[in-house]
Amino acid sequence: MSATRFCIVRHGETAWNAARRMQGHLDIPLNATGHAQARAVARHLAGEAFDAVLSSDLARAMATATPVARALGIEARPEPRLRERHYGVMQGLTHDEVMMHFPADGPRIRMRDPAYDFRGGETLPDFAGRITAVVDEAARAHPGGRVLLVCHGGVLDVFYRKALGRGLSGPRDFPIPNAGINRLEVAGGRWRLVEWAYCGHLEESLDEVPG
């Protein structure tokens, strides 16, 4: 079976990203830097061809996907299953606030306990199941093709671990920059990492944002 090539982009920056505030399913818009980053991604990918563009339906992802899809001449299709993980009652809090209000949960959060659901959110296996299903379905729908995905940091965390055969638990030790470009291939249910956290296209975008 021919491999399907995926280009996967994290959404541009939001004010809550800058404040290290947990967004989850809350619909937070891009800030000025995030919009400049989205335009930079669009310029960088404009010469490539894709069979489909799928994006999380949250505003920060769709606002990143829209200029890219426009540059490609293809419509961005919202895909709710590509949403960030649901962080339960902790959505809207900074990491410091989480540790202040829920100190007993700290070890489970730091070690990425698979059974932990942020008190009403998603467990890691449930989250991973819904997002990896999107990739596997797109690979079957576009064998030998190219698909662009626009999603979130937690989504990319799971994709990286799956492509390298790593478990879901344990701390993150790899970067996931806003508007970074990542590439993987999927064939016959096997995932292979091709490129990770490319940011060369973002240097020019910083000049657009007033200091």
Active site residues: 11, 84
Say if CB 79 and CB 57 are below 8 A apart: yes
Tokens coding 112: 């990425």
Tell me the three state secondary structure of residue 54. strand
Tell me the three state secondary structure of residue 188. coil
Give the separation between CA 69 and CA 46, rounded to whole angstroms.
Answer: 9
119-124-128 Cα angle (round to 5): 135
Tell me the sheet residues that pair with 191.
Answer: 186
176-179-180 Cα angle (round to 5): 50
